[in-house]
Chains A and B, each alone.
Chain A
Amino acid sequence: MKSIEAVRIAVRSIRSHRLRSALTILGLVIGIASVVVFATFGASVEAEIVGDIEGSSASNVYVFATPTDDEDGGFDRVVQPAFTERDVGALASIEGVATAIPRGAVDANSLTHDGDTVARQRVTATTPETFDEGRIVAGRGFRSGTEEAVLNERAARTFEGNVSVGDRLTLSLAGNRTHELRVVGIVNGTEGGLPVSDFAEGSRVYVPVDPFYRTVVESPSIGVRQRAYPQVTVVTDPTRTEATRTAVATYLREESDARRLVPAGTEPTARTSGDFAARISSVIDRITRFVTGVAVIGLVVGAIGIANIMLVSVTERTREIGVMKAVGARNRDVLVLFLVESGLLGVVGAILALPVGVAVGYAATRYAEVGFTLAPGWMAAAVGVGVAVGVLAGLYPAWRAARVDPIDALRYE
């Protein structure tokens, strides 16, 4: 028997039981579509988050302290001012490094704008290089050694009257020192010490390290008291991030003040945004796999549906099988006929499930407000599994059909 004939006969058989076939296919569609939906949604969320991280900070190497025995892959930050001015200078002079931006917190009490006072625990002290052109929405970055401030848009909105460039703010620091700040720029985003800081969408007030940041320690290597920061961002060329990270790590391990200043059980670490992305990817991946695994249960139910209906079909068609054998069908022909039929149910289910899954996945990403990303690997797998499920589920029924004794079958009523 030619394969085309097997397909033709199988199609007829499926069409002769429209409702039954449709319901069987529906079961499979739900199973496959669920897999596609969860896989698509997972891939979309992952792409969105990883894209955010990598897009915003591909050229950065983040330097901070982590516990030595951190099993979490080195993302558990220990906020201690261990990186001295000497370290910052040395990091900035590593080959290929554009700049090294220290970042630290200045303890504050409140901020006052136009008679409106808002409590504020801290402001961020950093250097002017932190402001990349693309982030400034109004004005400019501050200058070092001045009492200038830059706010992000969210911070600017925390006051009754929106803060704009040129406004004055009164900053009350711990110890009852007050400073008159002139707002020179507004930036968007929440640029912080780590690429993931963006997700917090907090309000930020940036002031120059000089004169505001006053945390000082004695540099163990040169014996001079100088400013020390909990975190440094090393900016390099995006194509050289890995090389720079290696150089930075070597410096931190062998020469830095930080290696001696960090508390016992911690060590200075260098991370790229790629590390963060990979870390987040792996977490999301695991979640996606788990949820998709749950959806696979649906697929199994679909498979059982096919197996069930094929078994019914074999019993119903016993006489037909007998006739076919009497007119020359070999056991193999009968086996193939039934396998093709169940395989076809699988194929049709998979083909219908794909657009359904993608559509529902798309709706889910719209609802969650993340960009839509297809997961072609998962989609191919879902279709493959659908067909495999059809064939596997048909295997036993087809084997039963092939073994039907034509003499009994022809007598079967």
Chain B
Amino acid sequence: MTASSDAAAADVVTLTDVRKTYDVGGTVEALAGVSLSLPAGSYTAVMGPSGSGKSTLLNLIGALDTPTAGQVVVADEEVSVASERARAELRGTEIGFVFQTFNLLARLTAVENVGLPLVFAGVPRAERRERARELLAEVGLGDRTDHHPTELSGGQRQRVAIARALVADPALVLADEPTGNVDTETGSRVLDVFDRLHAAGNTVLLVTHERHVAERAERIVHVRDGELERIEDLDGGGR
């Protein structure tokens, strides 16, 4: 469960003056020149009201989208100029996504959902299953490997999703409101998992609008109107 980068000082993500505009009958500027870097092994939370640009930020760092201007470098790959294919490979191998709505495939069992990224990376079936079982055991679901998502609780589903995000041993774990669809108690246990990931050396970026969730991180990046408002360093972050 360690991040691929070995030099602690190296940045996993570097954003340089990133702009993103959408053309929806008029030009909407979602990001207006954002510069940010995520050092390897860091735990960062992004906070901001809805429409502040935090989803756009996440999509760019997650290589789901390309910027209108500026540079996005993730795991030494320049996303802004990468081909669709290269971005897909980057998502599959260097980035792990955790979504608010889990986004597990209902047809697949827990172990198959966790192994899904490895399917597209061309990893053999037996190896995928073994790796998926290991990760499910680590998130406390060793006895639920062959269950389908509908047979699992919200918290369990989110832990399956976290295991899926980690299966390719990515350089970066991206979480978008990971506690948004579970109750407080369960959410707290999900956040415990992120704490453990961080402790194990993973680079984590978490988007939330809840202060108490963001406070689990080492620092909070406040976003407003497409700009970085301020970066708040938290003492004792990453508890």
Contacts and interface: CB of A to CB of B under 8 A. Distances in A.
B122 interface: yes
Given A13-B107, A319-B103, A324 B62 contact: no
Contacts of B117: 327-328
B120 A326 contact: no
Given A5-B119, A410-B103, A331 B64 contact: no
Nearest to B112: A12
Nearest to A317: B105
Nearest to A6: B119
A323 to B, nearest CB: 5
B194 interface: no
Interface stretch (B6-14, B81-89, B183-191): B81-89
Contacts of B122: 1-2
A9 B91 CA distance: 20
- The size class of the interface chain A forms with chain B is 20 to 34
A332 B62 contact: no
Interface string A12-34: 11001000000000000000000
A73 B117 CA distance: 69
Nearest to A328: B92
A48 interface: no
Contact of A410 (B89, B99, B168): B99
Given A1-B122, A319-B103, A327 B84 contact: no
A324 B59 contact: no
A261 to B, nearest CB: 84
A407 B91 contact: no
B121 interface: yes
B103 A333 contact: no
Given A325-B91, A328-B121, A406 B164 contact: no
Interface in B62-108: 62, 64-65, 84-85, 88-89, 91-93, 97, 99, 103-105, 107-108
Contacts of B121: 328
A147 interface: no
Contacts of B168: 328
Interface of B: 59, 62, 64-65, 84-85, 88-89, 91-93, 97, 99, 103-105, 107-108, 116-117, 119-122, 125, 164, 168
